[in-house]
Amino acid sequence: MKLVIFDLDGTLLNTIDDLGAAANHVLAQHGLPQHDMSEYRMMVGRGMRNLIRMALPEGTSDDTIAQMLAEFLAWYREHLDISTRPYPGMQELVRSLSESGYRLAVASNKIQEGTEKLVAEFFPGIPFAAVMGNCPSFPLKPDAALVRHIMDKAGVTASDTVMVGDSGIDIETAHNAGIPAIAVSWGFRPLSELTAADHIVHSADQLRTLLM
């Protein structure tokens, strides 16, 4: 493999507490029921609007969802790295891959600004070929357009690329792009969601062995 594309939330970084805290903050501001952090594990992955839609009571209007999303984003932008941390061994693995000549990229459904900020903070000095979040130019994963754009930007083909993620969304994205999917078991989704992956790994060391 020449290019490794990583998902961000649940794969490189454990972001769930900051995402959940931001959503609960907005819910509390409006006197609405809040959720346990464990519940947010199944709400994330399909973009911020979907997260807010799922956190709000069923039947909430589109206008209210839009208002709450704006409030959520304003809060989250200022508090996105309070509890967020890299998963064990992932900083070292990313650096080893880079130093060994692999091209690296991030493909996330998180807002672009947040994706760039967290990657720069927790993986400083890594020359990523692309750091891509949710931006108007591309549809959200599992659409493969973002991954294809990253491959074009890195100058590699599908046969030279692999995607690493923690959810069925990432697996579907990889397969839609015609590339293998490696699923990590330490993320936000249960193992039962990862069965379609080409490989499942349970530690950074296992991922290192598979890639290198």
Number of domains in the chain: 2
Q: Pick from 74, 79, 104: which is nearest to 12 by CA? A: 104
pLDDT tens, residue by residue, 115-159: 999 999 999 999 999 999 998 899 999 999 999 999 999 999 999
**93 shares a domain with 125:** yes
Mean pLDDT of the chain: 97
Intra-chain end-to-end CA distance of the chain, in Å: 9
pTM for this prediction = 0.97
The residues pairing with 163 across neighbouring beta strands, listed in sequence order, are 5, 181
Containing structural domain, residue 132: 3-14+84-211
Contact (Cβ atoms closer than 8 angstroms) between residue 179 and residue 158 = yes
Question: According to the model, what pLDDT value does residue 139 have?
Answer: 96
What's the rounded Cα separation, in Å, for the pair 148 and 57?
36
Please report, for the domain that includes residue 121, its CATH number: 3.40.50.1000
Please report, for the domain that includes residue 67, its CATH number: 1.10.150
Amino acid occupying residue 50:
N
**8 shares a domain with 35:** no
SS3 100: coil
SS3 132: strand
pLDDT tens, residue by residue, 74-111: 999 999 999 999 999 999 999 999 999 999 999 999 99
Active site residue ranges? 7
Q: Pick from 75, 73, 33, 29: which is nearest to 54 by CA? A: 33
CB neighbours of residue 207 within 10 Å: 21
Question: According to the model, what pLDDT value does residue 207 have?
Answer: 98
